[in-house]
Structure 1
Amino acid sequence: MLLKDKVVIISGIGPGLGIKLAVRVAEYQAKAVVLAARTPAKLDQAEQAIRDAGYDTPVLKVPTDIADVEQCQKLADLTVEHFGRIDALINSAYSHGAWGSSSASSMDDWRQAMDVNLFGTMQMTQAVLPQMKQQRSGSIVMINTMATRVPNQLESGYAVSKGALKTAVQYLAQDLGPFGIRVNSTFMGWMWGAPVIGYFQSEAQRLGVTMESLVDQVAQQIPLRKIPEDGDCAMAALYLASDYAKVITGAQLDVNGGHFLPC
């Protein structure tokens, strides 16, 4: 299977993509899945989702704030201590920050987003590199956003921080390739799951319209005419983590049903 016998770390476990990544890793016969999030309850929920899906994959849960470099190092060290290696890191942790336009946003909000989305992600990445270099192999996948492709002024700080991460990936891919370490990005758009469902429900109530009408407005902008399921988006990220993508590094994979079509 896709991740057979691999040890996979997932940062940023939450009710949407994070949990779906965890379940898919177990489905793809990983040797172990290591779960990281700031909130321990989210780690418990992810483990329960894996068990409810019928998988007995070993799970290591490590409460981790990736903005804290020591916590990142502890996560990497505990993974090696328990399982002897690190084959893949899925950097899914993020901070959206405040909603606001580029001209009116607080730079403190932008710095907070940068601390997690760029610097925190880089700290988590650097923490796993000594083990991956020792193995002469490894795969790192960054979960990025379509907001870096199609400007949305209300997500300006978030998008700018993720845009910086996009550039960092190009440098990492070139830097780490000689060690057999691949670094790639997925650019997610709308993803059908708990967070997006909650958004549509609240917007429908605020506007006094049906949720279905709002969903249809978005779906009509997507060539596949549907909002992609978060579990299906997870599969794209895990493809890049797997040996099926063993000659792919520095790639920018759009995972949004064709909502953004690069020229």
Structure 2
Amino acid sequence: MTVTPSRCAIVTGTADGLGVDIAKRLLDDGWCVIACDVTADVDARFEPGMFDGRVRTVVADVAAPETADALVRTALASFGRIDAVVNNAGIGGPGGDLDSVAMDDVVRTLDVNLLGAVRLCRAATPHLKAQRSGRIVNIGSVYAEQPVTGGSAYIMSKAALRALSHCLALELGPYGITVNTVSPGYMLTRMHEEEVELQARAAGIDPQLRLQQLRDEVPLGRHGNGVDVAGAVGWLLSQDASYVTGQTIGVNGGIKVS
């Protein structure tokens, strides 16, 4: 199927969780999307005939050095352009104090959550610079702003990702490229549910009680979801946000962060 060139976004981590809704929101907004995930589930989420052929799937690990260039090549070959990058791929990392977890698990968390984003930004920015426009959105976490015990690897990866956004906003601003972070709060995703299970086990309480405790911390009284995050990403990629860069946008139901 021949697709008329349109705005094209590369979105990682699109087989599950927030990434599915982010990719679908952009497709609903008329974007072409390169949807990447480490599992083949992404192929089922976004079949070739869906969305008038405006989506291509790539099964790859963002931590692998070759993945970033492969995603850029796919975007250019499929749609002839790159206009945005959404670095959403992430893993929860090891649970426990830093001196008790395996170093390999710490390195893996940084490779996926941080260096995967770094590599994709490096691969995509020459094309964004050449057209003197573009958007980068990194998906962070409320925990980067308000750390908790037992998640050092994940938290530092997200804190560094937030810092990366601020640095790139300064570097790329002269080229008309905006770079921002969307920082979700408590989201009802598989990763969050696994985290809650660990927290509940450590506290000796029922996981449903722990979920309720977290909901009680949220002024809006509920967990967030992928649609909430996708709305923020969609806005940041829209013309309405053309003067917004170097910012961290909290999507957290009103949780107070430091």
Task: Tell whether the 8 Å contact from 1:23 to 1:50 is kept in structure 2 after alignment.
Answer: no
Tell me the SS of whatever aligns to 1:56. helix
Task: Tell whether the 8 Å contact from 1:64 to 1:72 is kept in structure 2 after alignment.
Answer: no
> Which residue of structure 1 lines up, in the alignment, with residue 150 of structure 2?
154
1:78–1:209 Cα change, 3 Å: closer
Deviation at 1:103, TM superposition (A): 4.2
Deviation at 1:219, TM superposition (A): 1.2
1:61–1:101 Cα change, 3 Å: same
1:37–1:215 Cα change, 3 Å: same
Q: Deviations over 1:117-153 (max 9, x none)?
A: 2222100111111111111111000000111111121
Which aligned pairs between 1:196-207 and structure 2 lie closer than 5 A?
A: 196=192
C-alpha distance in structure 2 between counterparts of 1:121 and 1:146, whole Å: 18
Specify the code of the residue in structure 2 equivalent to 1:47: F
1:10 aligns with 2:6: no
> Which residue of structure 2 lines up, in the alignment, with residue 37 of structure 1?
37
Q: Deviations over 1:184-233 (max 9, x none)?
A: 0011121124544576689889967483x443322110010111122112
Task: Tell whether the 8 Å contact from 1:64 to 1:71 is kept in structure 2 after alignment.
Answer: yes
> Which residue of structure 2 lines up, in the alignment, with residue 58 of structure 1?
54
TM-score between the two structures when normalised by the length of structure 2? 0.88
1:170 aligns with 2:171: no
> Which residue of structure 2 lines up, in the alignment, with residue 21 of structure 1?
22
Q: Give the length in aligned residue pairs.
A: 253
C-alpha distance in structure 2 between counterparts of 1:78 and 1:230, whole Å: 25
User: Which 5+ residue runs of structure 2 have no aligned equivalent?
Assistant: none
TM-score between the two structures when normalised by the length of structure 1? 0.86
1:47 aligns with 2:46: yes
User: Which 5+ residue runs of structure 1 have no aligned equivalent?
Assistant: none
1:195–1:70 Cα change, 3 Å: closer
Which aligned pairs between 1:39-188 and structure 2 lie closer than 5 A?
A: 39=39, 41-48=40-47, 51=50, 55-188=51-184
C-alpha distance in structure 2 between counterparts of 1:261 and 1:162, whole Å: 15
1:218 aligns with 2:214: yes
Task: Tell whether the 8 Å contact from 2:84 to 2:237 is kept in structure 1 after alignment.
Answer: yes
Task: Tell whether the 8 Å contact from 1:254 to 1:260 is kept in structure 2 after alignment.
Answer: no
RMSD: 2.6
